[in-house]
């Protein structure tokens, strides 16, 4: 069994400005993805949206041996990670196929197997 992290990047400002119909379409797409995961025997360990990146706190090593703590995301990009799926699966090929179907419905995802 391997563990996978599916990251959901999106431009937060654009997403927030979309009409309710687009948000509903996205929710249906997630529902179909979760159904595909169940049918493929993939176990959802955790799934969820993240608070906006402006509420993030970034921490990195400081020159004095302490931590430098800043408010906001680690990097400024056009897309932010807005949610994730943490999955356990014995069938990477089927999981990748489910992810490809999810992406084909208009979702942008990053598929990552966790290192052992």
- Number of other CB atoms surrounding residue 91 within 10 Å: 14
What is the distance between the alpha carbons of residues 72 and 54, in angstroms, rounded to a whole number?
Answer: 5
Least confident segment among 21-30, 71-80, 103-112: 71-80
| CATH code, residues 2-113 | 3.30.70.1060
Residue 108 near residue 10 (C-beta atoms within 8 A): yes
Give residue-wise pLDDT tens across range 42-86.
Answer: 999 999 999 988 888 888 899 999 998 988 776 666 678 889 999
**Confidence tier at 31 by pLDDT (50, 70, 90):** very high
What is the distance between the alpha carbons of residues 41 and 92, in angstroms, rounded to a whole number?
Answer: 11
Q: What is the model's pTM?
A: 0.83
């Amino acid at each position: 069994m391997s563990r996978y992290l599916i990251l959901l990047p999106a431009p937060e400002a654009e997403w927030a400005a979309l009409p309710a119909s687009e948000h509903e379409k996205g929710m249906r797409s997630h529902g179909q993805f979760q159904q595909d995961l169940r049918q493929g025997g993939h176990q959802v360990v955790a799934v969820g949206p993240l608070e906006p990146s402006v509420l993030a706190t970034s921490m990195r090593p400081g020159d004095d041996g302490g931590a430098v703590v800043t408010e906001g995301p680690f990097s400024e990009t056009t897309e932010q990670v807005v949610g994730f799926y943490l999955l356990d699966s014995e069938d990477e090929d089927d999981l990748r196929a489910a992810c490809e179907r999810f992406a084909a419905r208009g979702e942008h995802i990053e598929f990552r197997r966790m290192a052992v």
